[in-house]
Structure 1
Amino acid sequence: MATPMVLASTARITHLACVDVKGEDAEKFLQGQTSAHAALANGHFAPLTCFCTPKGRMLANAQLLRLSDNHFRLVLSNSLVEPLIAHLKKFAAFYRAELSAPDDVMLFGAATDDASVIADALNLSLQTVTWQQQSDEQGNSALCYPDSVEDETSDRWLFVLTDSAAEHFQADAEPRHWQLSDIRRGLAWLEADQQDQYLPQMLNWEALGGISFKKGCYTGQEVVARAHFRGQVKKRLARGVIEGNEPLEHGANITNAMDKTVGEVVTSAINDSGQVELLTVINTKALEEGELTLENQPLTLCNLPYRIERLDPEQLSQTVPAK
């Protein structure tokens, strides 16, 4: 085997993994379970989506790719792969659809220069609009992700590669930089210990285009729609930073000036300045009041790079992919 190409700004992404959904009824099956309109996953547009309980609480959030007519792939937290498969198999039994966790794929996160190297080596074209997808017949995919905010000229791509393709590359960057980029973009991926805790809107999922309000029913749809149309979401995802050099535990309490718990940590990562950047779900009134504390330190709130308003995936899917 040839010596792998060393990619200094590419990270091996191990906190995310994949679930494959295959079969003649794969699209029909997914349509009844996910917040995305499954038909929008057309091989070019890869919508965000989520899976909910009947009470509208999230069991997992993911990105939905289509690799062929009867083959869909979900990218989600690695800790949720087995729990989600176990949950969905209860419904898949009534469809010609099979679920599995592919053991022959690896994920890489790359910035512009390295992404071009990977794409050229695999003869993939890099799409330049967020959530666009390019895949080949071997099952390799390149997904355009929102930039890192701090450097808006630096796009980034998530590569989902077969083992035979991945062996040609050596990723030398730290995965925390990819996680920091997601945090700075206000994009939180649920993990297994966070199941059944949040409405999708509490993670700003409709503001990211992860909920279709124009599709038919899916598990939890009635509750999710009611919360949207009646304005009943009292907690929202917020971005913040504190001093520190260790990631925070999920659920770490955020308190207000009255020492009352008003929020909790969803995800966090260490930056290069000795700080912990995080996403947290906080009571909306507490966000307006400020003076928040976490781990006995002041929590500094940062702006999110998007508005808290509905963004329809149907609108996002209209972007014409690059040839």
Structure 2
Amino acid sequence: MSPARTAEGGTASGAAHPVTLRDAYRVRMRRAALTLCGLAVAALLGPAGTAVAAPRPRLVALSSVDSTIIQDIRYATPHNFTGRVVPGYQAPLCLLTAPAARALHRVQQNLTRRGYSLKVYDCYRPQRAVDRFVAWSRDSGDRTMKAEFYPEVDKSRLFDKGYIARRSGHSRGSTVDLTIVKLPAPPTRTYRPGEPLASCYAPRAQRFPDASIDMGTGFDCFDERAHTLDPRITGTAHADRLWLKRLMEKAGFTGIPEEWWHFTYRREPYPDTYFDVPVSPASAMT
């Protein structure tokens, strides 16, 4: 009859390589360490295994790549669809991955030769800002900015219509919202909370003045008129949208049909990672 096996796989009779209490302790500690490691990895994964919060992306300040591109970072001000400065925007700063910033520089060189400039509304967006958008959408009582940004859409339907999502390509660092302005561009005046609001699809002269060429709607217009090829947008506004689209695609960006201002650099460095570092000078690489 063979010797009895111990719980850790040795023999009770002192056969070769018996497992001592010290050996068993080491095995248990190794297993515990592996379990903790697995839990740490899982904590960085979303429901489908996609990383959602890596600690520090490699981002650059757009101004360090091209200081001539105009910045009007709306979520660092109360002039956005929430009516408040959005959490995570500690400075009115455009941060992007270096390849996306260099691609924008190429677009800017093309435009400045013609007397125009890019103007960016939003660049990298931390996940905490996206979370704030989700919470805002559930607050049915807060309609402060409805008259400008979503005059014909019930707030409860913003998710269904795709205007707000729980994750945004902006959080990957290579997506940008932008327009074109004629040079010399007048400075954008400060929005005064509580001032009368004009619909985002009102005639250009009636909308909030931000020096953009005529794109048919303002930025962040939650309306089908903001779709790049909406048939109601004709003439100069239609031509201006297509001009922006061609310029961005030539530089390696891809737009989306629903928002004329939204573009993602195709060869983005972090295609599956959503970051949550704040928008601040400290988050930029030096």
TM-score range, shorter chain: under 0.3
TM-score (norm 1): 0.23
Instruction: Indicate the structure with greater helix content.
Output: 2
TM-score (norm 2): 0.25
Q: Which has the higher contact order (CA 8 A, sep 6+)?
A: 2
Instruction: Indicate the structure with greater strand content.
Output: 1
Larger-gyration structure (1/2): 2
